[in-house]
Amino acid sequence: MNNFIMKKALLFLILVFCMGIKVSYAQTNSKPNIVFIAVDDLKPEIGAYGNKMVKTPNIDRLAKMSTVFMRNYCQQAVCGPTRASLMTGLRPDITKIWDLKTQMRDMNPDILTLPQYLISQGYTTVGTGKIYHPSSAIKKIDPISWNDTYLVAKPSDYANGLGTPANNQYQKPATKLLKKLNLEKRMMKFLQASKVPPQNASMFQTMLMKMELLHCLQKKKLFN
Calpha distance 6→116 (Å, rounded): 50
The pLDDT assigned to 105 comes to: 95
The pLDDT assigned to 77 comes to: 84
Q: Can 216 be counted among the known catalytic residues?
A: no
Task: Classify residue 107 as exposed, middle or buried by CB count within 10 Å of its CB (0-12, 13-18, 19+).
Answer: middle
Using DSSP, state whether 175 is helix, strand or coil: helix
CB 173 within 8 A of CB 162: no
Residue 43's nearest CA partner among 27, 32, 54 is: 54
Summarize pLDDT for 76-114 with one digit per residue, the tens. Answer: 888 899 999 999 999 999 999 999 999 999 999 999 999
Q: Which of 18, 74, 79, 216 is catalytic?
A: 79
The pLDDT assigned to 91 comes to: 93
The pLDDT assigned to 181 comes to: 65
The pLDDT assigned to 9 comes to: 42
The pLDDT assigned to 27 comes to: 39
Q: Can 79 be counted among the known catalytic residues?
A: yes
User: H helices of the chain, where?
Assistant: 2-28, 57-64, 79-88, 92-95, 104-107, 114-120, 173-193, 198-211, 214-219
Q: Pseudo-torsion of CA 186, 190, 192, 193, nearest 10°? A: 130
The pLDDT assigned to 38 comes to: 83
The pLDDT assigned to 152 comes to: 85
Give the pTM. Answer: 0.61
Residues of the chain with pLDDT under 70: 1-29, 167-169, 176-224
